[in-house]
Chain A
Amino acid sequence: DTGVSQNPRHKITKRGQNVTFRCDPISEHNRLYWYRQTLGQGPEFLTYFQNEAQLEKSRLLSDRFSAERPKGSFSTLEIQRTEQGDSAMYLCASSLVVGAGANVLTFGAGSRLTVL
């Protein structure tokens, strides 16, 4: 399966701890997105990369959140000093965009974070 892969699938942590999620996009895709989804809500945009450049960040992405895509391939999302309000499903998606062409996101299964 050459879809979008996310690890770990589920992380349980205590408040105040740091957590890191990893996303491996579809190999030929140049864009990589992070979203957060809580119960009863649609996915909320956090940030996206085109190759290794982080092009946009949401106001939802507080100083405790940092995302990287150092070589333009996989990406990591780190949350420092976790809070109970960070409990959510963190979704990664990737797409291939050429010029002004179509941008169709393919999503991974997500990483569920539970902060105790």
Chain B
Amino acid sequence: AQSVSQHNHHVILSEAASLELGCNYSYGGTVNLFWYVQYPGQHLQLLLKYFSGDPLVKGIKGFEAEFIKSKFSFNLRKPSVQWSDTAEYFCAVNFNYGGSQGNLIFGKGTKLSVKP
């Protein structure tokens, strides 16, 4: 079965530190890739997405992610985090079968705590 793995359950950083959150998926075919963020008390929001083209995608609030097909990975990065980045981050994958896009499969999430 298809699966999405996020390696870090909880990451604690100080402001201005660099961030990298890992995400791997199990399927070897065509995929669409997403990172969603959930700020405390708020609903899931799209941070960035990859469908095709340049494997380095930029999202909101200075986040970026790189799709490495050979490693089945889509890691999220930010060069300098802020206290306001404290949130839970979810990697999600849409596995495509013959052009049909079904449901979105999520990882378990990584909680990011940024110390001021």
Interchain CB contact under 8 A, A42 and B104: no
> Which residue on chain A has the smallest CB distance to residue B52?
A102
**How many of chain A's residues have a CB under 8 angstroms from any CB in B?**
26
Interchain CB contact under 8 A, A42 and B101: no
Interchain CB contact under 8 A, B49 and A56: no
The 10 closest A-B pairs by CB, nearest first: A42-B106, A100-B99, A107-B44, A45-B103, A109-B43, A103-B101, A42-B108, A43-B106, A42-B109, A42-B90
Interchain CB contact under 8 A, B102 and A56: yes
C-alpha gap A7/B94 in the complex (Å): 27
Chain B residues near A (Cβ < 8 Å): 4, 6, 32, 34, 36, 42-46, 49, 51, 90, 92, 94, 96, 99-109
Q: Identify B109's interface contact among A41, A93, A106, A109, CB under 8 A.
A: A41
Shortest distance between the CB of A98 and any CB in chain B (Å): 11
Shortest distance between the CB of B87 and any CB in chain A (Å): 14
Interchain CB contact under 8 A, B32 and A103: yes
Interchain CB contact under 8 A, B43 and A108: yes
C-alpha gap A106/B46 in the complex (Å): 8
Query: Which residues of chain A are near B6, meaning CB under 8 Å?
Result: 42
- CB of A110 within 8 A of chain B? yes
Interchain CB contact under 8 A, B32 and A33: no
Interchain CB contact under 8 A, A102 and B43: no
C-alpha gap A41/B101 in the complex (Å): 23
Query: Which residues of chain A are near B96, meaning CB under 8 Å?
Result: 100
Tell me whether A97 and B101 are in contact in the complex, defined as CB-CB below 8 angstroms, given that A43-B44, A102-B51, A107-B44 are known contacts: yes
Shortest distance between the CB of A54 and any CB in chain B (Å): 12
> Which residue on chain A has the smallest CB distance to residue B42?
A109
C-alpha gap A110/B43 in the complex (Å): 7
Query: Which residues of chain B are near A48, meaning CB under 8 Å?
Result: 102-103
C-alpha gap A33/B106 in the complex (Å): 13
C-alpha gap A107/B92 in the complex (Å): 13
- CB of A26 within 8 A of chain B? no
Shortest distance between the CB of B93 and any CB in chain A (Å): 11
